[in-house]
Amino acid sequence: MDYGEIQSINLARLLREGGSTEARGQIAGKIELGNDTIVLQDVVSWRVSVTAVGESELWLSGEIAGYAMMECRRCLDPTPTLVRAYFQHMLRYQPGLEHLEAIEEDDEEVFLFGKPDLELSPFLSEAFALELPYTALCQEDCPGLCEYCGANLKRAPQDCCPERSQKGKEGKLAVHLKKLDLEGIE
């Protein structure tokens, strides 16, 4: 299957005859948004529907869902994170316009587009990015990294480095002394 295609929907018939139309597709690998790149675990799926609501006005609504690869905030392991986003926008056809343009009109945002073949990537990327959580955890109790050698404590042995095994011994000793102390008081 070819996932490399451009994400778009052809609105020529809709602009001529009214009614509504749908499209769906997939984005593989990554989503680009300005200078940012969101890495995907596999593919994300999207679907949109567009309904004519006036002479050249259209209502776009859609959904995009899939797994983004984030970094665990404690151990930095790649962590697949489910993202599901919905979006709705008012569009207006303005023939000849080169690029998608957003304007404010009566406190509402309207997107102007100039070609019947509407490029959907800006809408899909923005919606997906807005739903992306700020941070991720690979598992609720992720132990993070060793503070001395940087080993991933999920996989590292108890004594990943001399500093940590030393600290482990001190820890045991401290517990032992505390116990003795308490016993001494009694």
Q: In which residue are the tokens 């899939």 written?
A: 66
Contact status: 149 vs Zn ion (CB under 5 A): yes
Q: 3-class SS at 68?
A: strand
Among 14, 44, 50, 138, binds Zn ion (CB under 5 A): 138
Q: Of 148, 153, 165, 167, which one interacts with Zn ion (CB under 5 A)? A: 148
d(CA 101, CA 146): 49
**Is residue 153 a contact point for Zn ion (CB under 5 A)?**
no
In the numeric block, the tokens 């969101």 are attached to 38
Among 31-39, 90-98, 146-154, 176-184, which window interacts with Zn ion (CB under 5 A)? 146-154
CB of 166 to Zn ion, least distance (A): 10
The one-letter amino acid at 174: A
Structure tokens at 68: 């983004």
Nearest-5° Cα angle at 15, 12 to 21? 75
**151 interacts with Zn ion by CB under 5 A:** yes
Separation between Cα atoms, residue 151 and residue 113, nearest integer Å:
52
Of 54-83, binders to Zn ion (CB under 5 A) are: 72, 74-75, 77
**For Zn ion, the closer CB: 40 or 75:** 75
Which residues, in sequence order, are CB contacts of 158 under 8 Å at separation 6+? Answer: 164, 165, 168
Give me the residues that bind Zn ion (CB under 5 A), please: 72, 74-75, 77, 138, 142, 146, 148-149, 151, 160-161, 164
